[in-house]
Structure 1
Amino acid sequence: MLTVGDKFPTFDLATVPGGPEGLKGAFTQTSDTSNAGKWKVVFFWPKDFTFVCPTEIVAFGKLAGEFADRDTVVYGVSIDSEFVHLNWRLHHEDLKSLEIPMLADIKRELSSACGVLAHDAGVALRATFVVDPEGIIRHVSVNDLSVGRNPQEVLRIVDALQSDELCPCNWNKGDEFLKV
């Protein structure tokens, strides 16, 4: 599995855009060069039309503005196709207003390159990568398939990484930094 300090892999995936455009069926492409110069949060979920996944996706979507305020884009990725993503958005009430794009890793190339493919299940683990503007991984976490993650914690980590300071345990934006 890729870790902190590694270069995030190159990719080019079909995408259901966030916002109202995503509900129109006009697919786009998202690549590692999309949104150049920005921080990126790339989070993987196992499959569409499941139970834990939409709780996480909706929570990330609700924080899209907060991430954007930090010059950070959020990409959600699963092994499902763009057609399945679109169908899920159209038929899941909480996903209709989703503000983040859903990327289709149907060949499992990105999840394999990141090392987060659960080989027994054939799906991506619940992995989260925070990538700096130079494409370097600055944070990675992986949850078991049955356990959802905390997008608010990912936002806190982005704040800490962007501060370029020493941040103590449970540090939040506005708190004091450690002084050496």
Structure 2
Amino acid sequence: MMSKVLGIGSIFPEFSKTACVEIDVDAPGKEFTTIDNSYIKGKWAVLFWWPKDFTFVCPTEIAEFNNNFDEFDDRDTVLLGASTDSEFVHLAWRRDNENLRDLKFPMIADTSKTLAEELGILAEPEKVAYRATFIIDPDGIIRWVSVNDLNVGRNVQEVVRVLDALQTDELCPCNWKKGEKTLNETLGL
């Protein structure tokens, strides 16, 4: 059971967390950085959570987000991944898993679990994060939330589709995709 998930229209919480950003063994000391709200201020952002490092479903999702990194970048959207594991576990996992070595986005370490708790996405009794995805607008407002159970991966293309729809700021029908007419255009609104 989880607490109430922070929802649409809510201000994304203030945070400051260490993140794994590099695994280059030739550049020691550059593996980690601090990520906070200033990293996403004034930009669209997608923040996705996974339960634990060194598991089975999680790397498939992380790799798929990475495969689609340019889709987010083309939309001027910051992509961030997070779990409640430490930055050192993130680093070890990236070095260990071939699909995670060349990530183009930071892996946030919420070891205190404070951000996951504020977002309402901690699974009991383990206190690991559900597979939650948040789209945040340039004003820091949560515009979309999706939460999957621990054992079910998400659809990255659906995240991109919803981001496209939100960025139109128009009425978008069911299954709408970028390039199709919005209802505003269809109805002359």
TM-score normalised to structure 1 length: 0.95
- 1:89 match: 94
Candidates 140, 144, 169, aligned match of 2:145: 140
Q: CA deviation at 1:35?
A: 3.5
Mapped contact 1:131–1:137 kept (Cα < 8 A): yes
Candidates 65, 73, 76, aligned match of 2:78: 73
Question: In structure 1, what is the Cα distance between the partners aligned to 2:114 and 2:155?
Answer: 25
Q: Deviations over 1:125-168 (max 9, x none)?
A: 00000000100000001000010001111011110000011111
Question: In structure 1, what is the Cα distance between the partners aligned to 2:143 and 2:33?
Answer: 27
- 1:5 match: 9
Secondary structure of the 1:33 match is helix
Q: CA deviation at 1:32?
A: 1.3
Unaligned runs of 5+ in 1: none
Question: In structure 2, what is the Cα distance between the partners aligned to 1:41 and 1:104?
Answer: 16
Correspondence 1:122 to 2:124: no
Question: In structure 2, what is the Cα distance between the partners aligned to 1:15 and 1:23?
Answer: 15
TM-score normalised to structure 2 length: 0.91
- 1:165 match: 170
Q: CA deviation at 1:83?
A: 0.4
Question: In structure 2, what is the Cα distance between the partners aligned to 1:23 and 1:46?
Answer: 25
Structure 1 moving runs of 4+ over 3 Å = 21-25
Question: In structure 1, what is the Cα distance between the partners aligned to 2:91 and 2:106?
Answer: 10
The number of aligned residues is 177
Mapped contact 1:165–1:177 kept (Cα < 8 A): yes
Candidates 55, 58, 70, aligned match of 1:50: 55
Compute the RMSD of aligned alpha carbons.
Answer: 1.1
Q: Percent identity among equivalent residues?
A: 55
**Bigger Cα displacement from structure 2, 36-45 vs 138-147:** 36-45
